[in-house]
Amino acid sequence: MTLRLFNTLTGEVDLLAPADGVALRMYACGPTVYDYGHIGNFRTFLQVDVLRRFLRLTGIKVRHVMNITDVDDRILHNAAEAGVSIREYTAVYEQAFFEDLEALRVERPEVMARATEHIPRMVELIQKLAAAGAAYQTEDGSWYFRLAAFPEYGKLSKKDLSGMEDGARVDLDEYEKDSARDFALWKAAKPGETSWDTAIGRGRPGWHIECSAMAMEYLGESFDLHAGGEDLIFPHHENEIAQSESVTHKTFARHWMHVRFLLVDGRKMSKSEGNFYTLRDLLLKGYKASAIRLALISVPYRHQFNFTFDGLIEATSAIERLRTFRERLRMGVFATGENPALQASAKKAQAEYLAALANDLNTAEARAPIFDLLRAANTAMDQGLLLAGDRDAILAVLASFDAVFDVLEDRDAEATRRALEWAVQAGRLSDVAPELLARQGLTDEAIDALVAERSLAKKQRNFARADQIRNELAEKGVVLEDSKDGVRWKRK
Ligand code: AMP
Ligand code: ZN
């Protein structure tokens, strides 16, 4: 079974196999840890997870590297505002990112690499670019990539860059999507900003150079696949190619996979638009982690996907059906033997499932035969026609489905419990759906936090909120006593 996957570089659906015949070497751009990730970000990480799991299911080893961008304009700005070091600032969001990956069952890449821990590699690369005439230093001490030195610039995004202005520069980490400019490799230190003292001067890296340096460090000068969200095609990935190939004169990544956007009401879900949900937002609303995973992977990566709560509800009930079905198969007592019709159905489902994924990771088509099998087997069980051999064959199909989809084991309560713990610590209890609090039972910490929030609301003369909290607690059997020493509470 070989995977055919759309390749942004060739514009075609190409075979994907390890060049060395041993392990598929892949690099996926990771998060910028300046805030909590939103589910648009996680759509991309989940689709890459589908890719790696499918490769492994077909017997291919994977060496997957992901960077963590822990220095950039926003991080420097936010850390300075909070009066902490960038490491202290990013540690919180890096940790949150790992927790979110775990809740969504996204497998950890083999290598996770922080930008700040690879500064010497980036400096080396910039020196090589300078030696090749592809980088120059400006008066303030910053370094830029000379676009004119790389005539193939634009080959990934297929942009016509003929109108580009020679020597026009840009130093923002992210910039306008349609203008090609010499871009910053290294930014000279600004007073008060975190910086590194290096052979090319005191400063800090631009955003793009980290991925070239770290990809080549862990995967070699030329590797199999590079992935990211569609917004990274230009300029980020185009710049990675320019930086890397100007030095090596080898193809940087042979295959480029880009996950299309998660949209809300037809617009890209993004921090700057303010139209985003974090994973935590959804867990606190009472949606299950497995349902969020299934919803985010069920629309194939080549399609943009409009996020809706109906989609989450659909995913929740799909998972319910699958879990109930598996339980019924596991617990049932069946006579020995095999029913040839069911054996054929199981084989067909397995073949169609694998074929759909092998065809450009078509997760939507991959789901369909599994539910066909579920219906056929449930009917057979109702009629007493399912035999022990069929059970084993069908469980094997479910196992192969779950090797990629990973939603059958119920670990949802754990993910929700953690999100609630976080909400207590982060003072976000007001975002928790009341049904969820009721379902989980109120912990002492949650009550303390709500009581504190009520006192604050009263101080701010927000009596509506204060009363709402008193009533919510009363409904759950917690009574408050206001006294001159403060508020005491007890459970009825
Ligand atoms: P960032 O943390 O902003 O660097 O983004 C992490 C990853 O999420 C990148 O691969 C982005 O391309 C991707 N991404 C950002 N927004 C979306 C979205 N709305 N839908 C899908 N992927 C996204
Ligand atoms: Zn990158």
Cα(445) to centroid of ligand 1, in Å? 34
* 3-state DSSP assignment of residue 140: coil
Kind plus residue range of the DSSP H or E element containing 221: none
3-state helix, strand and coil shares in percent for the chain, rounded to the nearest 5: 50, 20, 30
- Average of pLDDT values for 443-457? 83
Residue pLDDT, tens place only, 92-109: 999 999 999 999 999 999
Q: Give how far the C-alpha of residue 489 lies from the chain's centroid of Cα atoms, to the nearest Å.
A: 41
What is the rounded CA–CA span in Å between residue 228 and residue 15?
19
Q: Tell which one of 231, 263, 292 to mutate to probe ligand 1, the residue whose CB is within 8 A of the most ligand atoms.
A: 231
pLDDT bucket at 176, cuts 50 / 70 / 90:
very low
Q: Is the pLDDT of residue 178 over 60?
A: no
What is the rounded CA–CA span in Å between residue 312 and residue 316?
6
> Which atom from ligand 1 is nearest to the alpha carbon of 34?
2
Residue pLDDT, tens place only, 393-442: 999 999 999 999 999 999 999 999 999 989 988 888 888 887 887 777 77
Residue pLDDT, tens place only, 358-391: 999 999 999 999 999 999 999 999 999 999 999 9
Q: If we measure between CA atoms, which residue out of 234, 246, 296 comes closest to residue 50? A: 296
Cα(177) to centroid of ligand 2, in Å? 16
**In this structure, which residue's CA is closest to atom 2 in ligand 1?**
31
Q: Quickly list H helices, 249-361.
A: 279-284, 289-298, 309-331, 340-358
Q: If we measure between CA atoms, which residue out of 54, 53, 32, 171 comes closest to residue 107? A: 53
Asked if residue 46 lies in contact with residue 102, where contact means CB atoms within 8 angstroms, the answer is no
**In this structure, which residue's CA is closest to atom 6 in ligand 1?**
31
What is the rounded CA–CA span in Å between residue 102 and residue 188?
37
Domains of the chain, each with CATH number or no CATH: 16-259 (3.40.50.620), 267-405 (1.10.730.10), 412-491 (no CATH)
Kind plus residue range of the DSSP H or E element containing 253: strand 253-259
> Which atom from ligand 1 is nearest to the alpha carbon of 69?
4
pLDDT bucket at 167, cuts 50 / 70 / 90:
low
> Which atom from ligand 1 is nearest to the alpha carbon of 276?
19
Long-range pairs of 396-402 with CB within 8 A, sequence gap ≥ 24: 396/346, 396/350, 397/346, 397/349, 397/350, 397/353, 397/370, 397/373, 398/322, 398/325, 398/326, 398/329, 398/370, 400/57, 400/350, 400/353, 400/354, 401/353, 401/366, 401/370
> Which atom from ligand 1 is nearest to the alpha carbon of 228?
10
Contacts of 189 (CB under 8 A, 6+ apart): 141, 195, 201, 202, 203, 204
Cα(315) to centroid of ligand 1, in Å? 22
Q: If we measure between CA atoms, which residue out of 16, 30, 31 comes closest to residue 64? A: 30
Residue pLDDT, tens place only, 73-94: 999 999 999 999 999 999 999 9
Kind plus residue range of the DSSP H or E element containing 33: none
Q: Is the pLDDT of residue 5 over 90?
A: yes
Q: Is the pLDDT of residue 180 over 90?
A: no
Kind plus residue range of the DSSP H or E element containing 36: none
- Which residues does ligand 1 sit against, CB inside 6 Å? 29, 31-32, 40-41, 43-44, 228-229, 231-232, 259, 261-262, 268-270
pTM of the model: 0.90
